[in-house]
């Protein structure tokens, strides 16, 4: 069996490990401040690196101004006093050193500089615009920032500290792989990599990144699976002489249209609801139905993609080809109904994610 490195992200809910209201309020204030500083720093990092690269393109400057963006100590023509990555770190250190742990900004800086370097060629060509980071940006957490990790007696949950803030995990009663992966990371079987904190209204989530070695099932390189996606039949897959249909139009589309009709009925009647808390109270039922549609679609796409990959593993198919996918997506953009009610990109992303886990080579035509 082939062994390969697998990197997975799991969202784990966190609770503030204190019954004191003042401590809980102070913790929330600190987290909101950290998120605000990360939001500002992220946009400043991308702006600084974009400006540094564009200096060479400003032809209307004097000739002696157009010099290399390198460390002056390593190259006589350089105009920087340090490396490009360290320029923004020093800037952030000067601005936010007393406001937020610098390990957080260092992790943010490395991630964003890496992202910028991957996309800068598209910036230069004008194919895409510079990234704009929002206020709800996750707070990056270095791997070693979680300290004093202790299990809670007679519970599956753990307590830990993060730069003086105390949290405890909440895995709930749902039997999924979050707890197993967390426990293996604590025991040393898995590696807990750089992760992040996500603030979602009144909830805190740890986007934990785990890395581990996984033995991939024996797959036959000569076996190729061909799949096509459509709104009529979500997935049709052909493997050798076998052909399978995954899902039906009635199973997915009609249920989604029923939820949309319920949303429209609630929207019509929302103006007659009591306004205890203004628009929030009036639109409470509408928002709950909107969330129900998102959850339903996400669940169905997970089911379809999992069954597709399970069939590939069953027949030992080492390659999965999505036939005519680009053409199908281009045609779907021209039809508003299909564009609104079918999610090609979401299903394709879930298939790619599960194929990577199983060691299957995915080809999108």
CB 216 within 8 A of CB 3: yes
Annotated domain spans of the chain: 2-25+138-216, 30-125, 220-257+301-364
Structure tokens at 215: 């033995």
Fold of 220-257+301-364: Nucleotidyltransferase; domain 5 (3.30.420)
What lies within 8 Å, CB to CB, of 64 at 6+ separation is none
- Most confident listed range (80-89, 149-158, 277-286): 149-158
Bridge partners, residue 255, by sequence: none
Q: What is the pLDDT of residues 189-230, one digit of tens each?
A: 999 999 999 998 889 999 999 998 876 667 888 999 999 888
pLDDT of 166 higher than 60: yes
Q: What is the pLDDT of residues 64-78, one digit of tens each?
A: 555 555 555 566 555
Q: How confident is the model at residue 343 (pLDDT cuts 50, 70, 90)?
A: confident
pLDDT of 285 higher than 90: no
CA 94 to chain centre: 30
Instruction: State the virtual CA torsion across 111, 112, 118, 119 in degrees, nearest 10.
Output: 160
């Amino acid at each position: 069996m082939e062994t390969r490195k697998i990197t997975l992200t799991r969202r784990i809910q966190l609770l503030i490990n204190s019954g004191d209201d003042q401590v809980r309020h102070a913790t929330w204030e600190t987290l909101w401040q950290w998120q605000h500083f990360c939001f500002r720093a992220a946009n400043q990092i991308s702006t600084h690196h974009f400006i540094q690269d564009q200096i060479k393109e400003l032809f209307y400057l004097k000739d002696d101004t157009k010099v290399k963006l390198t460390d002056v100590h390593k190259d006589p023509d350089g105009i920087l006093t340090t490396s490009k990555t360290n320029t923004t770190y020093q800037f952030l250190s000067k601005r936010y050193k007393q406001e937020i742990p610098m390990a957080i900004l260092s992790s943010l800086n490395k991630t964003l500089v890496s992202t910028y370097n991957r996309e800068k060629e598209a910036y230069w060509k004008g194919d895409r615009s510079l990234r704009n980071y929002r206020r709800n940006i996750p707070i990056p957490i270095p791997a070693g920032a979680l300290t004093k990790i202790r299990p809670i007696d007679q519970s599956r949950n753990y307590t830990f500290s993060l730069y003086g803030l105390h949290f405890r995990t909440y895995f709930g009663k749902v039997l999924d792989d979050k707890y197993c992966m967390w426990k293996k990371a604590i025991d040393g079987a898995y590696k807990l990599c750089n992760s992040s904190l996500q603030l979602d209204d009144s909830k805190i989530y740890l986007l934990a990144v785990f890395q581990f070695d996984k033995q991939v099932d024996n797959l036959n390189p000569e076996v190729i699976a061909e799949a096509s996606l459509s709104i009529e039949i979500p997935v049709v897959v052909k493997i050798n002489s076998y052909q399978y249909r995954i899902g039906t139009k009635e199973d997915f589309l009609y249920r989604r249209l029923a939820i949309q009709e319920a949303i429209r009925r609630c929207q019509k009647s929302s103006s007659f609801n009591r306004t205890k808390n203004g628009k929030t109270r009036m639109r409470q039922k509408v928002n709950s139905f909107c969330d129900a549609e998102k959850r339903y679609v996400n669940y169905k796409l997970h089911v379809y993609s999992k069954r597709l990959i399970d069939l590939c593993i069953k027949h030992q198919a080492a390659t999965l080809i999505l036939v005519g996918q680009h053409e199908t997506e281009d045609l779907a953009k021209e039809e508003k109904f299909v564009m609104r009610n079918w999610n090609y990109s979401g299903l394709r992303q879930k298939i790619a994610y599960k194929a990577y886990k199983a060691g299957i080579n995915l080809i999108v035509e």
